[in-house]
Amino acid sequence: MRRQYLWIVAAAGLVGSVLAARGASPAMAGAISGKVTYTGTAPKMKPIDMAKEPSCAKQHATPVTTENVVTGPGNALRYVVVYISAGDEGASAPSDAVRYDQKGCQYVPHVAVMRVNQPLEIYNDDQTSHNIHPLARVNSEWNKSQPIGAPPIHTTWEKPEFIPVKCNVHPWMHGWFLVLTTAHSAVTGEDGEFSLKGLPPGKYTLTAWQEQFGTQTQDVTIGGSETKTVDFVFKARPY
């Protein structure tokens, strides 16, 4: 019984240390959760023909389309990045690398979020060569080939920026690197839901970004350990 008690105390101390590093005590850490949806008629995504890359084509059991707008049940929007754009003092970049894969001649995930100066590792999982070309404007733009079996590309970004990514070998491959200064961000899944935890009391600006529909912002005040619910609704529009 005593061992179990000591384990609980140690675990509580660990959680407290993590929250303290984020600027909040366990008793005062708040959260923001919500859902991102759309109104209107979502644009139809274009079909992708991978006939020229049979090794990639056979990895997909269903037809593949572009991912500019990916929807889910109940008009949910996937791949929306929700993050604190004001009010977060931030922290040093984590040492854990963000992994970005080229698999089935697609970028996985379609949208990858990382911090300024956080390591990024880019892998080629396919039986074909790829060429990864981040179209950075604020950071340095580069263009690198990655043959079959090549080691991962290791890189970092020094400044915050939303960077579109393409493959010059396979023109249908498109993705995004979102380089942020905040430690509080989330990418919505098929259900359109998000959750940001470990927020100290204060006033924040919450931003939701979708690559085709643009951005929306809402101001949120966290007072203690409460969880605020914030929803975003985008108006669908065609290309």
Q: How far apart are CA 223 and CA 79, in angstroms?
A: 29
Distances 224 to 24, 27, 159 between C-alpha atoms, Å: 9, 7, 31
pTM above 0.85, yes or no: yes
pLDDT of residue 91: 79
Share of the chain above pLDDT 90, in %: 85
pLDDT band at 29, cuts 50/70/90? confident
pLDDT of residue 237: 77
First vs last C-alpha separation in the chain: 63
Q: Is the peptide bond before 26 cis (omega within 30 degrees of 0)?
A: no
pLDDT of residue 239: 59
pLDDT band at 174, cuts 50/70/90? very high
Contact between 122 and 155 (Cβ < 8 Å): yes
pLDDT of residue 71: 97
- Domains belonging to the chain, first-starting first, are 28-85+186-239 (2.60.40.1120), 92-181 (2.60.40.420)
pLDDT of residue 7: 37
pLDDT of residue 147: 97
pLDDT band at 198, cuts 50/70/90? very high
- What would the pLDDT profile of 49-91 be if each residue is shown by its tens digit? 999 999 999 999 999 999 999 999 999 999 999 999 999 977 7
Question: What sign results for the dihedral spanned by CA atoms 218, 33, 36, 159?
Answer: positive
Is the per-residue pLDDT at 2 higher than 60?
Answer: no
- What would the pLDDT profile of 85-110 be if each residue is shown by its tens digit? 999 977 789 999 999 999 999 999 99
Q: Name 150's Cβ contacts closer than 8 Å, sequence gap at least 6.
A: 124
Distances 194 to 17, 49, 213 between C-alpha atoms, Å: 24, 32, 18
Is the per-residue pLDDT at 25 higher than 90?
Answer: no
Beta pairing partners, 175:
165
Is the per-residue pLDDT at 3 higher than 50?
Answer: no
Average pLDDT over residues 193-215: 97
Placement of tokens 């290791």 in the chain: 154
Is the per-residue pLDDT at 188 higher than 60?
Answer: yes
Q: What is the mean pLDDT of the chain?
A: 90
pLDDT of residue 238: 67
Average pLDDT over residues 219-233: 96
Q: Give Cα 161 distance to the centre of its chain.
A: 13
Q: How far apart are CA 147 and CA 128, in angstroms?
A: 7
H/E element, 146: strand 144-146
Contact between 37 and 74 (Cβ < 8 Å): yes
Is the per-residue pLDDT at 24 higher than 60?
Answer: no
Question: What sign results for the dihedral spanned by CA atoms 58, 63, 68, 74?
Answer: negative
Beta pairing partners, 47:
65
Contact between 28 and 8 (Cβ < 8 Å): no
**Are β-strands 120-124 and 98-103 bridged in parallel, bridged antiparallel, or unpaired?**
parallel
- At residue 132, what is the residue type? I
pLDDT band at 18, cuts 50/70/90? very low
Q: Name 35's Cβ contacts closer than 8 Å, sequence gap at least 6.
A: 76, 188, 191, 192, 193, 194, 231, 232
Is the per-residue pLDDT at 202 higher than 50?
Answer: yes
